[in-house]
Amino acid sequence: MHTLQVAGVTVPAFVYGTAWKEDDTARLTSLALEQGFRAIDTACQRKHYHEAGVGEALRQAFAGGLSREDVFLQTKFTHEAGQDHRLPYDPEAPFATQVAQSFQRSLENLGVERLDSYVLHGPSTRSGVGPSDREVWEAMQALHAEGKTRLLGVSNVSLEQLQAICGLGGTQPAFVQNRCYARKGWDREVRAFCRERGIVYQGFSLLTANRAELADPRLIAIAEGMALTPQQLVFRFARQLGMLPLTGTTSAEHMRQDLAALDAPPLSEAHLAAVESISG
């Protein structure tokens, strides 16, 4: 299994994302684990995730022989604006209490005693970070200091917001998880900042956000020359750039193909530059 080291923690090099799967979450998470995924991403946000469904799949997997140490679990705290009416916390409570309540709900949903990565799902404002974000981040740092989560991360951030969060001091984010658009240089500026700070960039929607690029004749030609599907090429490209990719495929065959992309030979410098420059 391909892995990377993040702040002393061994992390599988491909993550299975569980967003937008609703009542199929348990079945598809089980399927992903059966195909070989060992890192699972979810969120305590019932609007887009069914975290308890992930927990159901984990219970089945652990009963079937996998151990807790075999699976890297990442979930998120989501501000009220990103939730629907099924809130995992008291919205009238202080933000530190909201984080504590959401975190406890995640442990209960997942059936575990500790998380591997806890992520701020997104800042509360479109630009910069607000007082609520600072309070939430401090509460998340406290969970890390108490050993309740091994790593912290932030998601859906601009470069400006990431710089502001890193400027708050204390425990720094180990991960940044962003939707990754080819037309924006595969989030080049944020990736560059992450590389400077030793932060691992998690790229999601690598396929769904880049449908035009996947159909580009140049990308298809490179993929065919490497005996890969265009989708596999994108994931191999992402890993070569240093990204930790996410996939949310519902197909067992595609799950196997996605994981197999990590075993493909590296792209040449010319091909790497070509894919990085493609913009539909």
Domains and CATH numbers, the chain: 3-277 (3.20.20.100)
**Residue pair 3/35 in contact by the 8 Å Cβ criterion:** no
- Residue 81, C-beta contacts closer than 8 angstroms, at least 6 positions apart: 124
**pTM for the full model?**
0.97
pLDDT digit string, tens, across residues 157-216: 999 999 999 999 999 999 999 999 999 999 999 999 999 999 999 999 999 999 999 999
Residues of the chain predicted below pLDDT 50:
none
Alpha carbon separation from 7 to 150, 175, 200, 272 (Å, rounded):
9, 10, 10, 27
Q: How confident is the model at residue 1, as a pLDDT?
A: 80
Q: How confident is the model at residue 13, as a pLDDT?
A: 98
Q: Which amino acid is at 29?
A: T
**Residue pair 73/112 in contact by the 8 Å Cβ criterion:** yes
